[in-house]
Structure 1
Amino acid sequence: MSEIVTLAIETPIEPASPPEEWHRIAEDTIVTRDGAGLPKSLFRDDAWDVEAYGNSDGGHNVHFRDHAPSTARVSIVEISKRQWKQVMYFLMHEAVDEMPAPSTIRNQMAILRSFVYFAAERDMTLYEAVTNVRPVLEFAAEKGNELKAQRLHAILVHIHRLGPTATGLQVQLKRLQEPMLAAFGGRQGGVQYPVIPTRVYQHFLATCERELAMVEAAASSLEEQLRLAYAGAQLRPSAELSSAAEYFGYHRLDSLLLSSVLTEVYTLCQVLILAFTGMRATEASHLPYHCLSIAREQGVEHYVIEGVTTKLSGGREKRARWVTSHLAVRAVKLAQRISGVAHSTYSSRRYQDSTDGSHLLFCRFGLVSEYKSNRGASGIGDYIDNLRQRAFPLITQEDVAELKRIDPHRAWEAEAEFAVGSRWPFTRHQLRRTLALYAHRSGLVTLPSLKRQLQHITAEMSLYYARGSAFAKSFLDLDKKHFAQDWDDAQGLSEYLAYAAQVLFSDERLFGGHAAWVQSNSVKSSPVSVFSREKTIAMFNKGELAYKETVLGGCASVEPCKSSPLNWLPLECLEKNCKSLVIVPSKLARVVKSQERRVETLESVAGDSVEYRMEKQALDSLVAAQQKATCQEPQ
């Protein structure tokens, strides 16, 4: 627990009245310091300067105001403000080992302001409301307060751990714990961010890729116009830039509208980075200018984005890395071209190699507001709805049915924002969970176009984020909030959903060793069989069951495949009727037709070759399996 340090002042300030029993922090206690370690804000100040503790998009100060209705008694207003300050001091200096990042401080300030206001409406101070329990539970039970209740609970846990002697506040955690957990507990299963349905997701990614190509074609003119705007000269946009501006809804370009176009581009680039890394929006906002590394191994390029995460050690920044795909790489390079013009115009430092946060990838470029090399671009959040209108289609019944398959316990029809005919209610938070579920080789994604879009990132995450990989051990074990943890946690659900759609509830009669086992009466009648969703997901999570899509259907083996990696067709499994084999007749039929064409072509040009004989043998095995399956069809 840190020591309370006070400033020596020449003229002591006498309190208007003796200190209350709950007073713990003196008025002249130093609360924050500047970058040089010198005192910046005192406890008595109504605004605390937190600039020195990390990047923040909300300005230098946090303010203790707007915490009570105009009808509240003056004594309630003043006492609650001091108690609010006191709790914030404990959260900043006593409850954690290091000063939290500004974003964490602002979140805590916002939750406490909301609760203090709630208490003042009931003629209670902050400490009175917490001690009496009932106001806390009423606050948590209000509709729409699930997230606030969760964050308030976390604050109260911190204060409870410090104890009443240190804080002057007796938190009734035993009485609060169970009802508060119930108030926001459903959020994990029912109100968490939805997975974007595959059709909607594919449309979104295709639109973003098309927009990225459009802006890339106009990038040189965009850079030139930004330089002209900095110089106060008249803009001369190219035809490509004018067309892109029209697409975004801007029919002419001056410095003000150019700022809007640049923010549209920033928004597009940031969303693509989120979509293909799984990082959080705050992490993307504070990526350093030089954040991209590309390595080539055995002819294959691997992309890694390096930045910081603020989800560790009370929100303090830590180095973090994410594997990514070529679309995100293009987005990074486009953002670098824009911010590079700003950095080169205003900054004397070499920004190209900046990795310390002094020069950001998404900086404030200085057309409307002041240029800030180390501050995240303002306004991106306001432009997200523009992107939503362009990139997200209207919800169909098919989309709702897919949502029900992913989360059957959520009442989707009761939520108006997911009604058929509504535009998908996109938020950036959805991208993390969506990528975590779809970027697996489970076969869950069936749309060919979406498979192509996710092919590279799926391969990279399987290589880098799989348990036991050197990357995982080096970078992920230290960060339990890294996206790789979400990806790993989602693997069981991803495999189950693919398994359920392709095996358990297939419209076709399946064949193979595993299919026969699933369709046996003993399995179907068992209450703990694979037809139990909860049981099956648990089996996937424990490694007792696995599923991977193959060209013939699927494989349910939990062990590494022993077939030759040179054989793209699992003929050995087919011939031996492997116990893990799942054969889908329609897939087998497509493979047979493709193999027949290949054999026919080889026979016409090299009928006596070894290659022809091998391919003919493979065809014979496939046809034999097809005939055997046909014989087993019910008459």
Structure 2
Amino acid sequence: MSSTFFSDLFSGVAGVGSVPPDPYDEEDGVPPDSFVMCRDRDGNATAVYGDDVWDLNPYRLSANRVNLFRFDGMLDGEGVERRRLINEVKYIFFCLIFYVSAGHIGRLSPSSLLQYYTVLRSAVRYCYAQRDREMVGVLSLQQLFTIPIYLAAFLRECKMCQSKVKKLRALLRHLVSVGEKRLGYRIQGVFDVDFGLEGYREGLQHPVIPTRIYLEIINILGDRVDQIFSGIDSLEEFIASFEDRVYGTSINFQRCTMKVSKRDVRPIFEEAIAQHQLNSVFAGDFICKERMGLSLALAKVQYIIKTIIHTYTGMRDQEVARLPYNCLSQSVVVPDTTDSRGVVRDRARMVDLISTTTKFEGYRQVEAWLATEDVIKAVKVGQAICRGLSKIYKTDVNDMPLFLNPSIIVRKGDIEVGVTIWRVEAKPESLATSILIEQSDLAELAATDPGRDFSAENSFAVGMPWNLTSHQFRRSLAFYGSSSGFISLPSLKKQYKHMTLQMARYYANNFENLKTIFGYYDSEKKEFVLPQNHMAYEFQMGMPMSVAYDILTEVLGENIPLFGGVGSYINKQRQRLESGEAQIADVRAETMKRVANGHLRYRPTLLGGCTKVGECDSYLLGDFTTCLSCEGSIIKPQKLDEAIKDAERELAVYEEGSGEYQITKGDWDRLVRYRHRLINVMEVE
């Protein structure tokens, strides 16, 4: 584009009180700070790119003046992150002013730009507020506008009016017209987000699986994979034996139909299972009595494997279906630590990955996901099945999908190599019909999606089996994965708890290797890219809503009196609910908003809970008695009594006068004084 383009663009309005801006060539990229955006009729600069206050009035057509564009008022404080966001906004305005064709003069008017200013101000403040979210950190506008999950969260949490939402949508379309080359990134995949506009068709979301049901599913899956894994050493050979078309059939079929000599009779099915020591594997959900039923039994095993992968990774249905045989790999997250002599002092820390690209293809062409212990065990079982079936198909297992169709065991003729098709009967009984919906489950469903009436849907009626689908696991993982209340349940398998710790570490937005480990290499951009719909983003944004859910269900749902700074506030909220002064939906919405904005969080403590945002030095040092005077504390009488008893037991062990005794005695004194001063007085009243 020629350097006179911008002068020509603005020449049509030179008579209304302005002269054209500086000449500029778009090949130069971001303009220099000295670039003059706008001049009055005398040639005086009123908007310089590097300044934080722009006056675009010389370019207005209306007689009414428009407000100044004050970028310095968008965010409070100072700092690199604040400046980076403001610079992003300024460049977006530069692009809107010089690259967008609109209106009867061919460009956006200052009054239209001012409307986009209010939208971008809300966006910038939201991005900056994410610094209080441990899993997210300060977002860039590029991240907000290119990652649907971030944008959806922004829309959900900021509650913008209809006109402002329409302006946001228009802004994104303008940025699309600016183009990736000029803007520096591509706006795509964000227009499927529910903008909440009238007439927008909103489909029903896949529900978050209720806690009781989710816990039962996790435990069932863990038990089933342990059951299958116990026979992994024999599984491949057992399946490969069925390449022989009469292996495992009845004696009558072999002798009379297939004319097998008495000397060459193969083991019947029951004998085949016993010889391979697989009786405990093909039992319960996978029970199988004859060769004709083996294909279905293996499909049920594959269903369990597939569901475990969904549960622990959040992968979508087709992503799991596309998994190749060689889908597991490792990546270095922390390299070897060596001393000055080159001796390795600390070995590299590795992380296990699962991906739809095989390890033989060099750079990954698709993203990867964390693979936990249960996922690895499940995949190894799937690989054993795949190896056995590959021998029947007479193919190279390295070229096969992980979920190779087992129907070849019972079907005759040439069977096309393909992925298993899971019909209704392939869902194991323990997951298909044994988990029934209870009234408490409906209450939880209502809490996770207040705008939906589950009681009016027949599929969610009390007494009906929970209709488990693969799509439910992604949202449930994002919802529960960072919920301290759920993770602390004693009946939850340790593998799930370990998985959430890994995700909190490696899926965090500020993890420096997030893209290189879990993304893929884009040969055009020559860099690693993490897809917009990766589970890491949902895990990040699911965390605050889970924290709000903790507060509502674990704290507001209990009938015991609470003390401490926030505990007293919660008691007052309860009183408002009981008196009818407030509705539970209002309290829930208020709590969700406070959490989403980073003004409130929740974590359990020795004395109850803590709602303080950010790190607590006292908590890290183990000085739990500081909670007694903290304005963010929630003190539960039962927890306080337990702490007093624990201190008394410790005092009995220490020698009186010792340092340990004096410290513990000080803690005990503070706990007892607090109980007497507040709790005992309340009980008397």
The reply to whether residue 362 of structure 1 matches residue 403 of structure 2 is: yes
Q: Counterpart of 1:46?
A: none
The reply to whether residue 185 of structure 1 matches residue 201 of structure 2 is: yes
Q: 2:464 aligns with which of 422, 432, 447?
A: 422
- 1:222 maps to a residue whose letter is L
Q: Counterpart of 1:379?
A: 422
CA contact (8 A) 2:219 2:493 kept: no
Give the Cα–Cα distance (whole angstroms) in 1 for the partners of residues 667 and 391 of structure 2.
Answer: 62
CA contact (8 A) 1:266 1:380 kept: no
The reply to whether residue 339 of structure 1 matches residue 363 of structure 2 is: no
Root mean square deviation, CA, Å: 4.0
Change (3 A) 1:341 1:276: same
**Stretch moving more, 277-286 or 326-335:** 326-335
Q: Counterpart of 2:80?
A: none
Q: Counterpart of 2:355?
A: 307
- 1:252 maps to a residue whose letter is K
Q: Counterpart of 2:607?
A: 552
Size of the aligned set, in residue pairs, is 437
Change (3 A) 1:206 1:521: closer
Classify the secondary structure of the residue corresponding to 1:538.
Answer: helix
* Cα deviation, residue 300, structure 1: 11
Q: Counterpart of 1:228?
A: 241
* Cα deviation, residue 452, structure 1: 4.3
Percent of aligned positions with the same letter in both sequences? 28
Q: Counterpart of 1:388?
A: 431
Give the Cα–Cα distance (whole angstroms) in 2 for the partners of residues 440 and 238 of structure 1.
Answer: 44
Change (3 A) 1:179 1:324: closer
Give the Cα–Cα distance (whole angstroms) in 2 for the partners of residues 478 and 178 of structure 1.
Answer: 22
Q: Counterpart of 2:638?
A: 586
The reply to whether residue 436 of structure 1 matches residue 483 of structure 2 is: no
Structure 2 alignment gaps of length 5 or more: 1-172, 178-192, 249-271, 335-345, 358-363, 520-528
CA contact (8 A) 2:487 2:497 kept: no
Q: Counterpart of 1:173?
A: none
Q: 1:399 aligns with which of 411, 423, 441?
A: 441
Give the Cα–Cα distance (whole angstroms) in 2 for the partners of residues 535 and 180 of structure 1.
Answer: 19
- 1:213 maps to a residue whose letter is D
- 2:631 maps to a residue whose letter is K
Q: 1:485 aligns with which of 511, 532, 537?
A: 537
Q: Where do residues 193-342 of structure 1 align in structure 2 (5 Å cutoff)?
A: 193-232=206-245, 234-235=247-248, 236-238=272-274, 241-248=278-285, 250-254=287-291, 256-293=292-329, 303-308=351-356, 318-342=365-389
Change (3 A) 1:613 1:322: farther
Q: 2:592 aligns with which of 513, 537, 540?
A: 537
Change (3 A) 1:227 1:385: closer
* Cα deviation, residue 241, structure 1: 2.3
Classify the secondary structure of the residue corresponding to 1:237.
Answer: helix
Bigger radius of gyration among the two = 2
- 2:613 maps to a residue whose letter is V
Give the Cα–Cα distance (whole angstroms) in 2 for the partners of residues 431 and 608 of structure 1.
Answer: 56
CA contact (8 A) 2:324 2:401 kept: yes
CA contact (8 A) 1:222 1:237 kept: no
* Cα deviation, residue 542, structure 1: 2.4
1:595-624 Cα shifts (integer Å, max 9, x gaps)? 444544x34xx6676555544544444444
The reply to whether residue 450 of structure 1 matches residue 492 of structure 2 is: yes
CA contact (8 A) 2:218 2:493 kept: no
Classify the secondary structure of the residue corresponding to 1:430.
Answer: helix
Q: Counterpart of 1:506?
A: 558
Give the Cα–Cα distance (whole angstroms) in 2 for the partners of residues 267 and 542 of structure 1.
Answer: 40
CA contact (8 A) 1:242 1:252 kept: no
- 1:407 maps to a residue whose letter is D
**Stretch moving more, 624-633 or 553-562:** 624-633
TM-score (normalised: structure 2)? 0.56
Change (3 A) 1:471 1:583: farther
Give the Cα–Cα distance (whole angstroms) in 1 for the partners of residues 442 and 547 of structure 2.
Answer: 20
Classify the secondary structure of the residue corresponding to 2:226.
Answer: helix
1:528-547 Cα shifts (integer Å, max 9, x gaps)? 99953333323322222222
Give the Cα–Cα distance (whole angstroms) in 1 for the partners of residues 659 and 210 of structure 2.
Answer: 47
The reply to whether residue 465 of structure 1 matches residue 507 of structure 2 is: yes
Give the Cα–Cα distance (whole angstroms) in 1 for the partners of residues 419 and 624 of structure 2.
Answer: 51
- 1:631 maps to a residue whose letter is N
The reply to whether residue 570 of structure 1 matches residue 662 of structure 2 is: no
Give the Cα–Cα distance (whole angstroms) in 1 for the partners of residues 493 and 422 of structure 2.
Answer: 33
The reply to whether residue 631 of structure 1 matches residue 673 of structure 2 is: no
Classify the secondary structure of the residue corresponding to 1:431.
Answer: helix
Change (3 A) 1:178 1:198: closer
* Cα deviation, residue 519, structure 1: 4.5
Structure 1 alignment gaps of length 5 or more: 1-157, 163-176, 310-316, 352-357
